Amino acid sequence: MMKNTTKLRNLLKQNRITPTAGVHDPLGARILQDEGFELAYMSGNGTTAAKLGMADIGYITMREMVDHARNIVNVLDIPLICDSDTGFGSADSIVRTVREWEGAGVAGIHIEDQTPTKRCGAMKGVQLVDIDEAVARIRTAVNAKRDPDFVIIARTDAISVVGIDEAIKRAHAFYEAGADMVYIENFQSREQMEIVGREFKDIPIMVDSLEAWPWTLIPYEELGEMGFNISFHCLSSTFAYTKALKEVFSTIKSQGTTKGITDKMVDLHEYERLLGIDETSLKREN
**CATH number assigned to the domain comprising residue 75:** 3.20.20.60
Q: Which pLDDT score, from 0 to 100, does residue 279 have? A: 55
Written as one string, the DSSP assignment of 245-262 is HHHHHHHHHHHSS-GGGG
Structural domains counted in the chain? 2
Q: Residue 256 domain-assigned?
A: yes
158 and 257 fall within a common domain: no
Q: Residue 220 domain-assigned?
A: yes
266 and 184 fall within a common domain: no
Provide the residue range defining the domain that includes 272.
Answer: 242-281
Q: Residue 98 domain-assigned?
A: yes
85 and 202 fall within a common domain: yes
124-158 pLDDT, tens digit each: 878 999 999 999 999 999 999 999 999 999 999 99
Q: Residue 132 domain-assigned?
A: yes
Q: Which residue ranges of the chain lie beneath pLDDT 50?
A: 280, 282-286
Distances (CA, A) of 74 to 26, 27, 32, 67: 8, 11, 14, 11
165 and 260 fall within a common domain: no
For residue 264, the 8-state DSSP code is G
